Amino acid sequence: MKKPYKNSIQRLIFFFLTLAVQIYIIILVILQSREYFLYFYLISLILGCILVIYILNGKSNPSYKIAWIVPILILPIFGGTFYLIYGGNKLSKREKKKMKNQNIKMKSSLIQDYDVLKRLEKESEYAKNQSLYILDYANCPIYENCYNEYLSPGEAKFEKLIDELKKAKYFIFLEYFIIEEGIMWNTILDILKEKVKEGVDVRVIYDDVGCVMKLPYKYADELQKHGIKCRVFNPFVPLFTNRLNNRDHRKITVIDGYVGFMGGINLADEYINTYEKYGHWKDAAILIKGDAVFNLTVMFLSMWDFINNTNDDYLKYKPENYTNEKYLSNGYIQPFDDSPLVNEPIGETVYLNLIY
């Protein structure tokens, strides 16, 4: 197994030391005010009760509610303080405004063909209702006549991904929670460098917490030197902040607008079993080709614009602008995402509906 990078360990040590200092300051303030501790405790208890009522009346998942209510009731001073720091909305007003604008733009770019829904309804009214639910909350249309292929384990995705990346002529978008230097990523990176030389627009987004022990500090700058545009989602900051747990867990690849990969496989060697981290890793991905890839393209571009403060023309990246090939299938495809602005557990609800 590869050893963590020295500067990554230093970042984590600095992070935990900073948190320790902040906790120490909180405790020090409490001790210095010990003569008023009874009043302080009563105020904390009242505040804790208010927070419990607030949490109970919220729309969040019951398990999330319980996870906060228990520490607030047992340790009202610390439980209430941590909830105020971590438990609220993970976005600032500025970020919510930016994301709202992105959602509006996303909705105006992704237009549902209602004839597809009518044909779906003839086959299954239940499936149509499920599709409408996704459309209403995620603003992501459903498509037909798209090629799809189930890829598992990670070795199968890796083989297909390499094959499709080599065919890229116009653009490559990669958005992953984890990227780690090794056989998988280094093989992909070599292809990306070659594609940049060919004039292909290559963009990468990775999550800073997901990669904090996987990639060197400021790795995005290294990619930029090779002409690869790279942005880091929510950089890791060693402070008490409600943004710390706001992460990007997507695993998306888009190639030339009409080839897409999604699923649970990150770009790290344990996912293709070149070494065993937790035993043999069984994960899965989906390859899709055709119109449905546009959902993935818009998801990526909306995140890119959110991080980069840019304003891409999403319609420029529609599949028909890059291929005339028509794909046929006997099913329907509806890639969708979620948003912190939607107080609805879309993914969870979809899976529960499927189980029911």
Q: Pick from 247, 231, 257, 253: which is nearest to 174 by CA? A: 253
For the chain, list the domains and their CATH numbers: 6-87 (no CATH), 113-355 (3.30.870.10)
SS percent in the chain: helix, strand, coil, step 5: 55, 10, 35
Q: From CA 247, how far away is CA 209, in angstroms rounded?
A: 8
Instruction: Record the pTM.
Output: 0.85
Q: Is the omega angle on the peptide bond into residue 153 within 30 degrees of 0, that is, cis? A: yes
Encode the chain (356 residues) as per-residue pLDDT tens digits: 444 455 566 666 766 676 677 667 767 766 676 677 677 778 878 888 888 888 888 777 777 788 888 888 887 777 777 777 666 656 677 777 888 888 889 889 999 999 999 999 999 999 999 999 999 999 999 999 899 999 999 999 999 999 999 999 999 999 999 999 999 999 999 999 999 999 999 999 999 989 988 998 889 999 999 999 999 998 877 655 556 667 889 999 999 999 999 999 999 999 999 988 888 999 999 999 999 999 999 999 999 999 999 999 999 999 999 999 989 887 999 999 987 767 788 998 999 998 98
Q: From CA 271, how far away is CA 285, in angstroms rounded?
A: 11
Residues in CB range of 323: below 8 A, 6 or more apart: 256, 257, 258
